[in-house]
Amino acid sequence: MRFSINSILACALLAAGATVAHAQTVIKFSHVVAQDTPKGKAAEFFAKKAGELTQGKVKVEVYANSALYKDKEEMEALQLGSVQMLAPSLAKFGPLGVKEFEVFDLPFIFDNRDELHKITTGPVGAGLMKKLQSRGITGLAFWDNGFKDFSANRPLHAVADYKGLKYRIQSSKVLEEEIRALGGIPQVIAFGETYQALQTGVVDATENPPSNFYTQKMHEVQKHVSLTKHGYLGYAVIVNKKFWDGLPADVRGQLEDAMRQATAYANQIAQDENDQAMEAVRKSGKTTIYTPTAEERAALKKALVPVHDKMSGRIGKDIIQEVYKATGFDPKKL
């Protein structure tokens, strides 16, 4: 049997293509928010950069809106290796046994992004990431979503206005205590089910960064939002440790570079996205937006900062003091 040169070359190319396809590493990156949020856009940015920098050796498949796993399922899936990468909210690490991450849930512990980034990009943040190793998880980066505002179906001006409302919160003992400090009733509800819960009256208030509030259409079922900026919502981008350690060193380095670029992108757009989202809420005419006076915000802060001390036994006094020291916060000066 004779083969032409062209057929031999074709067979060789086909074989080479099969080898490349077989050698390609696929990373399933799952998250629970919409694709057009800061986290969703940053995940897509990382996927693009990962493909470019590894020259196709790695393909990142992004699954938004809980397409693969619900909130409560995704961490277990990562530890089992069913999914390689997640970007859960920082409140998710408390149930995992790393309760120090719940320091990010404390109300008014950061006054601005500069204070926040002293933690997420500094030694305190690095120390927190190291605590994940024993759980089979490698932490890669912190991504901002932004500062949260309270919303409800009645105006929220004075501290007394917050009393008696049923608030949707994500699963967090710290956030439960935050709501109780206001005289409210905390209700843990999955993010994707929040709109329906608000629509049907299961809850009548919530807290969110503007981008989440708008993309989940909560402005359609919340008559008022108060720009309190009382708490922070951010994410930790994490990978399955066994998977990560098993990557070739050069590929891992390229992915770390892609993650650095994606993190810079994520944190750059977070504030812009939130500003644009709140403007879209304003233009919709469906929600009244209120900016608290300096006195009203100070009163809210005074009501909520005692949560720091109350939750110190759970989170750890040391980590709270480390944050205070890094940011210059002194609760005694309230």
Q: What are phi and psi of 207, to 5 degrees?
A: -140, 135
pLDDT score of 17:
42
For position 32, what pLDDT does the model report?
A: 85
pLDDT of residue 33: 83
How far is it, in rounded angstroms, from Cα 272 to Cα 268? Answer: 7
Classify strands 185-188 and 85-86 as parallel, antiparallel or unpaired.
Answer: unpaired
What pLDDT, on the 0 to 100 scale, is given for residue 10? 46
What's the pLDDT score for residue 14? 43
User: For the chain, give me the number of helices (H) and strands (E)?
Assistant: 14, 9
Given a contact cutoff of 8 angstroms between Cβ atoms, the answer to whether 141 and 43 are in contact is no
Reported as type and span, the H/E element at residue 47 is: helix 38-53
Residue-level pLDDT, tens digit, the chain, 334 residues:
444 444 444 444 444 443 334 479 999 999 988 888 889 999 999 999 999 999 999 999 999 988 998 777 899 999 999 999 999 989 889 889 999 999 999 999 999 999 999 999 999 999 999 999 999 999 999 999 999 999 999 999 999 999 999 999 998 999 999 999 999 999 999 888 999 999 999 999 999 999 999 999 999 999 999 999 999 999 999 999 999 999 999 999 999 999 999 999 999 999 899 999 999 999 999 999 999 999 999 999 999 999 999 999 999 999 999 999 999 999 988 8
d(CA 136, CA 118): 26
Helices 113-120 and 123-130, axial angle in degrees (round to 10) = 50
pLDDT at 21: 42
What pLDDT shows up at residue 1? 44
> How many structural domains is the chain composed of?
1
Three-state DSSP state, 174: helix
Report the pLDDT value the prediction gives residue 66, as an integer from 0 to 100. 86
CA dist 306 and 312 (Å) reads: 10
CATH at 259 = 3.40.190.170
Predicted TM-score of the model (pTM): 0.86
Backbone phi and psi for residue 147, each to the nearest 5 degrees, phi listed first = -90, 145
Give me the domain span that covers residue 305.
5-333
pLDDT computed for residue 18 by the predictor: 35
pLDDT at residue 38, as a whole number = 86
Residues 6+ apart with CB under 8 A from 257: 49, 53
Tokens of 84: 């390689």
